[in-house]
Amino acid sequence: MNAPVRLDLRDASTFPTRRVEDWKWSDLKRFLREAPAVSPAIVVAPGGPFAALGGQEIAFGNGLTVDAASEARFEGAGVLRLRFVSDAQSTGHQASATVVVPAGAELLVLESYEGAGSAYASNVGLTFEVGEGARLTRVVLLEEPEDVISVSVADVTVAPHARYEHTVLASGAKLQRHETRVNHPGHGASVRLDGLYVLAGSRHADLTTVVDHQGVGGVTSQLTKGVVADSARGVFQGRIVVDRGADQTDARMGHHALILSDKAEIDAKPELEIYADDVSCAHGNTIGALDENALFYARARGVPEHEARVMLTQAFLGEVTDRIEHEGAREAAQAWLAERLEALL
């Protein structure tokens, strides 16, 4: 097995090509041949898309915090708004952050990627540590210009009896990759990895996850849904690994997507890699068009076609946002979805 790619924007030799299996459908080298110049520093006004939900804020502007550091660390509970703001022209920047949730604590991370400008490349590396019995909910919003490159990779370590849950909301970019690698200890810990992509134009979004079950009795539930229109491209790669001895693992993965155009593309690779026998693992993957029968039914009941399409698509995708337990975060995600769909359809 290939070691995961560790992208460094300053070193072009770390840029993966499509010959790297895990980057097969997100050929970074095609769009970025050389290391870009470093983006200028910018000032970020506090707030962001999740401002209404309060909490503490850590904001990066073109890869730098207010203190001009390219790294940040947070340890605590409550609500954290982790913002990665880009405003650059054809330059590149990268940042990294570590978030620690102490044992027994509960933290909601509202992670936003806010972009302005054009053709920039952004690379974010994150580390999450969820302590024993702790709970981390992460809601990620990717809203960037159509012609930029944005890569974000998170390493998540979960302790026994802890919960890690994330929901990624992606609207794509020229190349947008959101990757999460979870070390799952089993022993009462549970992991939920959800994703949603709504892509138009020539946007590309790649949601990649790897969950490595290392101990007995781990639970993982995964649901990713998406819709692509125009000549957009959605990529889903999910890998569930069950190590030797990680018995009684229960892992479910689902990826379901709609293609609305003949030029759009969806690529999916739901993988299972199982080294223990007393497990129950399953994945399902469906790709297709909107159900014409359901559409016909709605229209026969007097719902105009456009409205019917929005309604059906929203119902289809809404299953993902409904799974967010935090009320405020759920409502923000639902509002984002409704807005995106209205623009798409």
The single residue among 53, 85, 173, 266 that binds another protein, judged by CB under 8 A, is 266
Q: CA–CA separation, 89 vs 240, rounded Å? A: 38
Is the Cβ of residue 79 or residue 253 nearer to another protein in the bound state?
253
Binding mask 2-31 for another protein (x = CB under 8 A): -------------------x----------
Shortest reach from residue 269's CB to another protein, in Å? 5
Tell the smallest beta-carbon distance from residue 277 to another protein (Å).
4
Closer to another protein at the Cβ: 56 or 286?
286
| DSSP secondary structure string for all residues of 101-128 | E-TT-EEEEEEEEEEEEES-EEEEEEEE
Structure tokens at 225: 């849904």
Is residue 288 near another protein by the rule CB under 8 A? Answer: yes
Closer Cβ to another protein, 56 or 261, answer by number: 261
Using CB atoms within 10 Å of the CB of residue 132, give its burial: 0 to 12 exposed, 13 to 18 middle, 19+ buried.
middle
**Which one, 89 or 261, has the nearer CB to another protein?**
261
* Residue 38 touches another protein, criterion: CB under 8 A: no
Distances (CA, A) of 31 to 17, 26, 36: 10, 10, 11
Q: Collapse the DSSP code of 185 into the 3-class scheme (helix H, G, I; strand E, B; otherwise coil) and give the result.
A: coil
d(CA 291, CA 301): 16
Site string for another protein, 54-93 (x = CB under 8 A): ----------------------------------------
Q: Which of 106, 143, 273, 331 is in the footprint of another protein by CB under 8 A?
A: 273
Single residue of 43, 45, 68, 262 touching another protein by CB under 8 A: 262
- DSSP reduced 3-state for 41: coil
Of 18, 284, 306, 315, the residue at the interface with another protein (CB under 8 A) is 284
Which residue, 40 or 288, is less far from another protein as judged by CB?
288
Within 10 Å of residue 286's Cβ, how many Cβ atoms? 11
Quick check: 230 binds another protein (CB under 8 A)?
no
Token pair 């200028």 is at which residue? 40
Best CA proximity match to 143, nearest among 123, 170, 103, 166: 170
Chain residues that interact with another protein, rule: CB under 8 A: 21, 244-245, 259-289
